[in-house]
Each structure stands twice: as C-alpha cells, then as structure tokens.
Structure 1
C-alpha cells in the first residue's frame, strides 16, 4: 500500500452529507428501488409469470445488453462521474452503468478495512427491495394456492417504487469531496482522454489476474435463472411469493458473516480470504448435489409445492441456501477486486469487468432456461462444472493476496501555507499525479 500525505489540503467542516455512510445510504437507496424491485419479481420465478420460457428469453436479451454496457461502463462512468452513472443506470438497457457505478461506490468510498461491512449493508439494501416487494406480493396473492401468474396490481406497485431511484441518485457527492473517518481520501485518477480510459479497461481485461478470475465472475450469478425456473416449475403462486419475501434474508445473513470475516484485521488478509472462499465453495457444491437428488425425484413425479405440502421444506431449503452461498460468493468477489484496485478509477474498471462477465454468465443461463424442452440436468451440470473449474484459478489469486493495493492519501487537516501550495503548483506534483505512481 502506498501512503501519501496531502499537505496542500485545506481543512473544511465535515458535513454529514459528505460522509461515507451517507454516500452508501444513497447508493443503497437506489439499489433498493431499482434492482431491488427487479429482484423481487425474479424471486417469484419467471418474473411472476405462469410460464418461465418467454420471460427467460427476454431476460437473456436484456442481460446480453447489460454485459456489453458493463464492460465499458467503468470507463464511461469515470468520465461522466459516478453520480450520473448511478442516475441514468436504472433507465432500461443503461443498467450496466448503474451496476458498475454502485459497485465502485460501495467498494471505493469506504476505507479498505471497512469494505466487508459496507458490502454487507449494500447486500441488505438489495435484499430489502425483494423483501418489501415480496411482502407486497405475498399480501396481494396470499389466497392463490394454484399455479399461474401474479396479479397486475403487483406490477403497478413495483413500477411506482422503481421510479424513485433517479432522484435519490442525484444526492450522491463527488468522490473528491467525501471524507472518511480514518482521514484518508478517496483517490481518483482519471485517464487524460476517453480513448485512454477504454485502453485502460482493455489492458485490465487481458491481465493475468482478471483472466484467472473469469470463471468465478462468470459463474457468480449463473444459478439465478435455474432458481427461477425451479420455482416456477414446482411451486404455487403463493409459495413463490413466500420465497420472494423470505429467501432474501439468507443473503443478508451470509453477507454480514462474510463481511465480518473479511474485515477481521487480526487475521492475515490471505488467510481470511481463503477461509471465506473455502466455506462458500463447500456450501455451493453441497447445494448442487442436493439439486441433483431432488431433480431426479421431480422428473419421475413432478410436485406442486404449496406452503403445507409434505416436501415443501426440503425443496425450499435448497432455494434458501442457493441464495445464502451465492450472495456470499458475489460479495467476496467484490471485496477481492477492491483489494487489487489502486484507486476509485481503477476500481470502476474492475467492477465494470466483473459485472459485465457476471451479466454474460446470466445471458447464457437465461438463454438456456428459455428452452422449454431442455433437460434441467444441463443447467445443473453447467453450474456445478463451471464452479469446479473456477476453484483453482481463484485460489491462485487468493494465494497472491498480501495487502490492499489502494494508494492511500492522508488528508492534512491543518490549513496549508500559501508557500507550500504554490510550490506544489509550480512543481506540478499534484496529489493525483503522485497517487498514480
């Protein structure tokens, strides 16, 4: 970690609206209203529809667009500012900008030692959307013990909540004005031109570390379409509504458990990363073995699982633990790229690539789910197989993790003298220039 003292900085009163917690609150507010409501619909299985295949095909197209936008969103967000990436992101196909921006904010604004906690807070906000949405859905559909689609009132309520994301996003402060409780500054080192930004993304995309992490990025949300199909195929409307409401608590629990471990400074960074990864992978392997057993039974005798049916518990537990382990895995990947990024601009590139490859994985998975006659064991096999492929290269990256790579600028809260300021200006040795070394 490189440490630089910002001797030319001027003390300013610390406003709560420039604090890290407030910036996280803004990002979480947008996550709650936009993707949170989207996830609430996804938690119903096939977006609440009666048949999963048309919805799955539409999702495949949408995630393909997300993948393209996400890869370049990091570079674009660096030029236009994360606030505008966060604001325009919820507008349809531009969600790639939002995905990249929110991840960069959540990881880059806090100090490295606090990132696990704030990632858990973010996951909670993302989960709160589906929880509230699931509660709404459950209330509107509680009497529907048959299969089919949810009522139209459900969609109207969701759309109204999603529209709140834009005004909330505009409350975000520029990174340069944010203060941290440990007196370090958020370092921003933008490239000189648009072309340089895109070149930086290209160089990062083909770097050894990113190539090793490609399987993990690709598989991190690959399970989600199969969960949607699984729910739609075997659960009633109200049991799917229950899943949309309750399953998200699994992600909250796992996020804080993993966040606490990853922030534990008394344990070496490499050790805590390996412990978290081992636990997550073990649980994911267990869920896919469990899925193979259940799917074999369901092919022979397809159930219609309602709240009080005999097999509801063991089938729903599989959905719960998919989310528990899956959210923990995604959170760890965000934390990991945050440790290797040198500044907020670098982090924006990292998160854009991560979310782009994640969206590419979902594109393939949703396309597979859109095939009405496809064997479910194909989806299970791909999830299981790619997960196994990802273990060794990810372990190599974890084994090389010795410390945070972030350039640290310590703000001097004493008013700098005019002489020092002029000397810095004349030498051209700005904080941003020194931070790039």
Structure 2
C-alpha cells in the first residue's frame, strides 16, 4: 500500500510537473491514445487532458465567446439597452437556479450532452436580437434569455469540471490560462465582426444583420463541436492516471452530492462572495461605460481591446499561479494580494473617470442629445486604457477563482458541483444588477457597488486561503467523494484499461 500512496499521479502533482509524456507508461490500444508526431513536434493523444481542454475551449470560443462579443457592444448591439436588459434579467435569473444544480445534471448525463445543449442556447439568444431589430419583439428576447440561462448553466458546469479536474495539480493554472485565452480569442474575433461592419458608423446605431447572422452560424458550430469530446472515463493523463468520477451515477447520488460537496468542503462558502461579485461589474462596464459614452465603431474597438486584455491577464496570472519554485499555499496568498492591489488601482482610475458624467448627461434623447465619443476625439486615450485594464482585471479575477477551487480537490465530481455553485451564484448577482440597470440606477451607484463588492469578497475569501488550501491533495482524499478506488485512478505501466472506455 505504501507504493500505491506514492503513485505517479501524486508524485507528479506534488512536485508541480506538467503532463509532458516523460513517464514510461504504456497507453491502452486505440487511436485516441496514440500521439501524433509532426516533424519535431509531438502532439498529445486525443484522449489526453490537453486535447480535451483545447476542444472545450473552442466550444466556448464559438458560443460564450460570441455572446461576450455581442454583450460587450452594450445593449446586445442595439442602440437602446432595454431588450438586452430584459433578456439578461431572464437569463441570469434562470442561470442562478439551474447553474447551482448543474453539476448534478452534468455528472449524470455527461459532458458532451451538457456542452452541446448549452451551445444551442447561445444560438437562439443571438437570433432573438436579429428578430428584435426588425420586429421590436422583446418577448422573444426574454424567452431566449431564459433558455440560455438553463443551457449556459450546464455548459459552464461541464467546462469547469474539465478545466479544473483534468490537469495535474502542478498545471492547473496553465490549463485555466490556456482555456481563458482561447475562449476570449473568440470574443476578440467576434468583436472584430461588428468593428469591420461598422467601421464608418460615427454615430450610435444598431449593428448590421450580417453581424447577427455571423454570430448565429458560429454559435451553432460550437454546439456541434462538443460531440468531438470523449467521455471523462476515457481520458488518461501522460502518467497513466485517470479522472476521478462516479462510475455509476444516479439522480439521487448526484443531487445528494451537492450537499456532500458543502459538507466535505464547508470553506467553499468563503468564495461565494467572489462568485457573486465576478459578473456584477459587467453591466456597468458594458452599458454604463461602453454603450453610454461611445459611438458604435468606438464601442466595437473598445470591445476588441477589452477581450484582448483578457487574454493577456489570463496568461500572466495562469502561468504565475503554477510557478513551482514557490509553494502553492504561498502562491495563493500572493495571488490574493495581487488582486487586492489591482482592485484598488484599476477601480481607483475608474472612479476618476466616472465623475466626469452621469446617466442623465449622456442621454442621447432630447433635450440633452449627447453626442457619443469617437476614437478620433481628444481625450479618448485615457478611457481606452481604463477599459483595457478592466478587461485585464476580469481575467485575473476569474483565473484566480478557478485556481482557488481547483486547489481544494482533484475530484471531477466535486469540481463539477463547485463550478455549478460558482456560475449559479455569479448569475444571481448578474440578475440583480441587470435589473437595477433596467431601472436606470445611476452609473456612479453601479460603479460603487461593483468596487465595494469586489473588496468585500476578497476579505471573505481570505480564511479559505489561509486555512483550507494545501500544497497537495492526496488521491486517497480525492476518491472519498466517488465510488472509485485508488487503484482505479492511479497510473499504470501495463496499458490495461480499468474502465470500459467507449470506442471512438
């Protein structure tokens, strides 16, 4: 048993190494376990964590990525934020309920069904805005938002489980970084579509039909791409270890698993305020800054810069969080301090900017008739850099939250539930602030509430970082939350498959 306790999975996880194929492990027979060599480059096998992460990242590239590109324009690409506000209230209200229980659903029906069904909701959501452009039918927007809330809850729970449980302990930060970079590349490319379509639109107007059609096609492709994933039971790391999950899940076992997650990891509630605050500021940044202050083409440019900054932020924080020469417990504390400093600095600059205007002063309707700012206007550079730092900050916050959760366990079943908690509570906060925005809450109030929530959430998270996060979680501890044994998930050297993996 002593040998089992020092299995390859634990050793590699503890010393922070990455799955790099250096371990002498014989993979099972089958095409999905064969690596591909292209010149000097050896690509990981198809059923590897790296390949599966890239696939799910491109699903999110095409679905939530396009949603972010559209939302980042402010008002869903419309001149008025009314339809988007109504749709987003329904979206996040449903998301908050379904998302909280989504981990149980994902654990029962599997990641492919969850991601594919989730992707279809984004397609319908975009279509509702194309319809609104011609019919002014907000009913379809509200229905599409509610549908997307149900779909997105499942998609993000499945995505979170893959991103946090597939990599070894020493590479979780990089996997989160890789995912966030690819995912936000979708928003960057998606935001280039309205930028190109509206490059000459120096006034505020609705984006073109071609923009919406392009988004519809891309989101539909994302829903189909989910079927190229393999089941979690077939994924094998390069050290031979497998993903910890339930072999025989039932609805009863998975619903009970929600309570078991909270009971076994009660400190997770310390992260709930971080979950709640993590999307609160989107409403202010997209509607209170980008939509309110800038014209259509400048909104599109700001949108592109915002999501590009997210790629940079994810890269910096993801790779720093995996810096193996510093213990994981110390890295967690450094990350907390870094986020605190960013919160004070970035939102301090945001406060100075927000004092220059109010909701009433940027009203485009008579008698004010505000003329939206263009990138050619003097004084644009300062707000542009502020918006870039808003994007960088968002990526830093989200990356740290996922890394904190991933540091608590390597169990896919538990992490799926935690991801569901994250997205459900996050969406509850988003539903509240979208509703307040629809009631014309002053922009300074939206800003102040965002800043206060972020600072308060950091204080609440500190006990978890100080007490609960450890340098390493043993396999024996991880399998307690599943019906698997240590022998079924540790690395093997004979290539035997413990689970009956499906054929590809």
1:298 maps onto 2:357 in alignment: yes
1:405–1:360: structure 2 CA closer, same or farther, 3 Å change rule?
farther
2:454 counterpart of 1:387 = yes
2-structure distance, mates of 1:205, 1:57: 33
* Distance across 2 between alignment mates of 1:5 and 1:82: 26
Three-state SS of the structure 2 residue aligned to 1:90 is helix
Q: Partner of 2:399 in structure 1? A: 331
Paired position in structure 1 for 2:490:
410
Matched, 1:213 2:280: no
Question: Structure 2 CA distance, aligned partners of 1:54 and 1:378?
Answer: 22
Q: Deviations over 1:227-257 (max 9, x none)?
A: 1111111001000111222221111111111
User: 1:123-168: CA deviations, max 9, x gaps?
Assistant: 1121111111111111110000111221121101110111101221
Q: Contact 1:55–1:370 (CA<8 Å) still a contact in 2?
A: no
Q: Who is 1:434 aligned against? A: none
Separation of aligned partners in 1, 2:474 and 2:162: 15
Q: Distance in 1 between matches of 2:49 and 2:301?
A: 34
Matches within 5 A, 1:215-364: 215-229=273-287, 230-299=289-358, 302=362, 304-364=372-432
2: distance between equivalents of 1:125 and 1:415?
A: 32
Mapped to 2, the partners of 1:41 and 1:384 lie a distance apart of 24
Determine helix, strand or coil for the equivalent of 2:119. Answer: coil
Distance 2:293 2:228 in 1: 43
Which of the numbers 45, 55, 61 marks the counterpart of 1:32? 61
Q: Which runs of 5+ in 1 are unaligned?
A: 422-429, 432-437
Which of residues 377, 380, 388 in structure 1 aligns to 2:444? Answer: 377
SS of alignment partner, residue 78 of structure 1: helix
Asked if the contact 1:191/1:197 (under 8 Å) is kept, the reply is no
- Aligned residues: CA RMSD: 2.4
Q: Secondary structure at the match of 2:490?
A: strand
Q: Distance in 1 between matches of 2:234 and 2:417?
A: 21
Across the two proteins, how many residue pairs are aligned to each other? 417
CA contact (8 A) 1:269 1:402 kept: yes
Normalised TM-score (structure 2): 0.78
Question: For the residues of structure 1 that align with 2:5 and 2:432, how far apart are their CA atoms?
Answer: 40
Which is worse superposed, 172-181 or 399-408? 399-408
Correspondence for 1:12 among 25, 28, 31: 28
State TM-score, norm by structure 1: 0.90
Q: 1:353 to 1:398 in 2, by over 3 A?
A: same
| Residue aligned with 2:376, SS | coil
Which of 1 and 2 has higher RCO (CA within 8 Å, sep 6+)?
1
Give runs of aligned pairs for residues 35-46 of structure 1, distance below 5 A.
Answer: 35-46=64-75
- Show the counterpart of 1:130: 187
CA distance in 2, matches of 1:26, 1:382: 37
